[in-house]
Amino acid sequence: MGIFSTLHTGVTGLKASEVQIATTSNNISNANSTFYTRQRVVQTTNGFYTTGGVQVGTGTSVDSIIRLHDEYSYYKLKNASTQLEYTKYLGDTLKEVSQRFPDLQSTGILKDLENYNKAWNDFASNPNENATKVALVKATQTLTESLNNTFSTLGKMQQKVNDDIKSTVDEINRIGEEIATINKQIYGQEALTTEHANELRDRRDELELTLSKLVDSVASKNPIDQNSRFDQTITDPGHQYNLSIEGFTIVDGINFHPLKLDYDDKNKSYSIYYETADEKIRDLTGKIKGGQLGAQLDLRGRDYNKLEGKYENGILQGYMDSLDTFAKTLINETNNLYASSAKNSMTSDYINGLQSNIPLMNYDRTIQPGSFDIVIYDEKGDKQATKTITIDVNTTMEDLVRQINFNSDDNGDHNSQNDVDDFINASFSYDPKSNSGLFQINAKSGFKVAIEDKGTNFAGAFSIGGFFSGNNAGNISVKDSILSDPSTLRASLSGVDSGNDMANKIIQLQYDKVNFYNDDGTIDKLTLEEYYRKFTGKIASDGENNEVILASNTTLYNSVYTEYQSKSGVNTNEELAALIQYQSSYGAAAKIVSTVDQMLDTLLGLKS
């Protein structure tokens, strides 16, 4: 039995070396594979037999083929990937935003604002010339269209990000479902403790890493097996598997529980939720963070205000709100001044949702407590009467109309026939079908009416006898009546052609610090140019700050990736050295077999 057992011992060495060479060859072949964990053969003694009181070994055996996988370095790699992809997606979008606000010497909204102010200056210098009136309207159109287009572009970017949210959630669900399927295959292939589904585990790790780029997720794989027989400690997860997002399980072993999307058709907005086993709905839109999905939600906004028709937060929404604030302040301040130029009649824009009994300060936060004057001029431009109208926290349109039409002795001359209510009639009508209101003041023939504001923003906010229509960057425009007939423009307070005192006030507006009522409740007191520069400066600052963080995250990712590769990646030089070693082992084992063969020949020769 001894000589044949020795032959068997040599054969086991040959077989073990064959497996070693095959495994090393597989490592070298997959050195450039997208995701591959290098493998090693676990080789052990094949036991022994006792003869003559001594124990004689029976060769070697291959116990299993394992991955050189370190779960801790892999965990760090996933975290670094989540942070990197978050800043990458954010950075790409912020770069696109910054391109919409070039504000170079010859282009941009700031240049349009400069041309607009110059047109007002030319009009004030030549108030009777139709050419300057037409030029002012055209310069204003250019400015308003720039604001409209920029706001629309930001809105389209926000909608694109919203569409990306659906694609990202769909991809997360696809990955989760595939992981659950792979888990089932792993459990089937690893029925014995010596069996390792290395390729399947590699595929699962690849999917987890891909998922980490999309969202911050946690994979729990306890218990984790540890093996210290090689140059490094190998930690590979066992069969227990749970993958969760913000504490909600999407993969539990072989079971898959998808994220779900709710689409608001009217507002074209996606929200993300999770349905628990007891069919309760958990909204995750405000909780999900990290990766592309976290960046998308932070850019678009997480909380949608259906009443206002926009998001209450979000980076892009913040930019849109700031542009709205800039436009609304330009509208209000210009309209407040233009309303002080006397006209035969003064009409507001259609005011959406304003009923006669709603307090004005509740409807529009830019309207402030205080007063404004109703001033009456005759056709020659002589002032005839003035009435002061007050606004407080409770004042409604109904109250204002009552104040304006009230029969009072405005001139203090005890003459009831020459007061404001004798020259004009104010009215407010609300249409329930369109849910909008309209305010009007009509002067009697031979007279004109003006509104001189003292800080209430009443005329400006509702564009009553104003120069602009609209209330935000998306709908700001030149008043239709002016657009259709620029010759109706007047530069004077009295409404006659010769004066320019009102136009001079609008020219001065570019230098005055005014209140900007931000959407977050804060108030900035700046000039129009200062506010716009502050707004565009924030866009530039956000982009630069993200670039710094992106560079830091890239460095961190590269460092962690190098660490992971050193433990789990294929080192071709190392594998080639191992290949030579295993080739030598194979040759030595073959020598054992050939030696035994010679011994058998000798033995058979003795018998003959």
Tell me the per-residue pLDDT of 469-495, one tens digit each, with 9 for 90 and over.
999 999 999 999 999 999 999 999 998
Residue 236, pLDDT > 90, answer no
Q: Which domain holds residue 413?
A: 344-464
Q: Token pair 């304006």 is at which residue?
A: 404
Domain membership of residue 549 (yes or no) is no
Q: Are 487 and 130 in contact (CB under 8 A)?
A: yes
**Once rounded to an integer, what is the mean pLDDT over residues 96-114?**
83
Beta strands in 490-533 (DSSP E): 514-517, 523-526
- The predicted model scores a pTM of 0.87
Q: Please, what's the largest Cα pairwise distance for the chain?
A: 156
Q: Which long-range contacts (CB under 8 A, 24 or more apart) does 230-235 make?
A: 230/40, 230/68, 232/68, 232/70, 232/567, 233/70, 234/66, 234/67, 234/68, 234/69, 234/70, 235/69, 235/70, 235/71, 235/72
Structural domain count, the chain: 1
Q: Residue 229 above 70 pLDDT?
A: no
Confidence (pLDDT) at 146: 94
What is the residue-averaged pLDDT of the chain?
Answer: 90
Does 541 fall in a domain?
A: no
- Within-domain flag for 110: no
Would you say residue 296 lies in a domain?
A: no
> Where is average pLDDT lowest: 25-34, 187-196, 271-280?
187-196
Residue 234: what pLDDT? Answer: 65
Coil, helix or strand at residue 344: coil
- When pLDDT is cut at 50, 70 and 90, the band that residue 262 belongs to is very high
| Domain presence at residue 429 | yes
Residue 274 clears pLDDT 80, i.e. is over it? yes
Read off the pLDDT band of 152 (50, 70, 90).
very high
Is position 425 within any domain?
A: yes
- The yes-or-no verdict on residue 285 having pLDDT over 80 is yes
Sequence-distant (≥ 6) Cβ neighbours of residue 387 within 8 angstroms: 373, 374, 403, 404, 408, 410, 419, 420, 421
pLDDT on residue 327: 97
Least confident of 52-66, 470-484, 583-597: 52-66
Section 196-219 average pLDDT: 92
Name residues whose C-beta falls within 8 Å of residue 463's C-beta, 6 or more positions apart in sequence: 331, 335, 348, 349, 469, 470, 471, 479
pLDDT of residue 233: 61
Convert 227-287 into a string of H (helix), E (strand) and C (coil).
ECCCCCCEEEECCCCEEEECCEEEEECCEECCCEEEEECCCCEEEEEEECCCCCEEECCCC
Task: Compute the C-alpha angle 597/602/605, nearest 5°.
Answer: 125
Burial class (CB in 10 A: 0-12, 13-18, 19+), 70: buried
How does 465-476 read in b/e, with b if 16+ C-beta sit within 10 Å? bbbbbbbbbbbb
Helix (H, G, I), strand (E, B) or coil at 25: helix
Q: Tell whether 414 is covered by a domain.
A: yes
Q: Tens digit of pLDDT for each residue in 303-343?
A: 988 888 889 999 999 999 999 999 999 999 999 999 999 99
Specify the higher pLDDT residue, 65 or 140: 140
CA 498 vs CA 337, 384, 519: distances in Å: 18, 19, 41
Dihedral-angle region of residue 59 (phi above 0 means left; psi in -120 to 50 means alpha; beta otherwise): left
| pLDDT computed for residue 414 by the predictor | 84
187, pLDDT greater than 70: yes
Q: What is the pLDDT of residue 49?
A: 77
User: Would you state the pLDDT for residue 505?
Assistant: 96
**Residue 53 pLDDT greater than 80, yes or no:** no
Report the distance separating Cα 483 and Cα 489, nearest Å: 10
What lies within 8 Å, CB to CB, of 147 at 6+ separation is 109, 323, 326, 327, 473, 476
pLDDT digits (tens, 9 = 90+) for 404-446: 999 998 888 888 888 999 999 999 999 999 999 999 999 999 9
Whether 433 is covered by a domain: the verdict is yes
Look at strands 370-378 and 351-352 and give their pairing. unpaired
